[in-house]
């Protein structure tokens, strides 16, 4: 079983992590909570980063593989920075 098959988002509407996340600010905290408790959060973020992806990957909205200022502005900056640092340190 791949890491993607073990994600909390499996069997959910994938639009929550893409179009709906952009269009509906109220859904962001729900999606963030799903990602924050996911057992493969780090794998997901690293995948999104390395593949220059768009959408929510590991709880961070990426645009071309980089954190989006617009779609992550609802997150506490210290928490987001700690999360990003913790997850990306494994990539080095």
pLDDT at residue 37 in the model? 94
The pLDDT tens digits of the residues spanning 1-41 come to 899 999 999 999 999 999 999 999 999 999 999 998 999 99
Range 70-85 average pLDDT: 78
Phi then psi for 28, rounded to 5 degrees? -60, -40
Q: 22: phi > 0 → left, psi -120 to 50 → alpha, else beta; which?
A: alpha
Other CB atoms within 10 A of residue 88 CB = 14
How is residue 80 written in tokens?
A: 């987001």
- The structural domains of the chain, with segments of one domain joined by +, span 13-89
Locus of tokens 């988002």: 9
With 0.85 as the threshold, say if the pTM is over it. Answer: no
């Amino acid at each position: 079983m791949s890491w993607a098959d073990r994600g909390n988002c499996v069997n959910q509407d994938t639009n929550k992590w893409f179009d709906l996340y952009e269009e509906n600010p109220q859904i962001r905290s729900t999606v963030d909570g799903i990602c924050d408790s996911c057992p493969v959060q780090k794998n997901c973020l690293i995948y999104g980063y390395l593949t220059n992806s768009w959408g929510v990957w590991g709880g961070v909205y990426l645009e071309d593989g980089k954190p989006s200022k617009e779609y992550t502005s609802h997150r506490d900056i210290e928490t987001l920075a700690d999360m990003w640092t913790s997850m990306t340190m494994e990539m080095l």
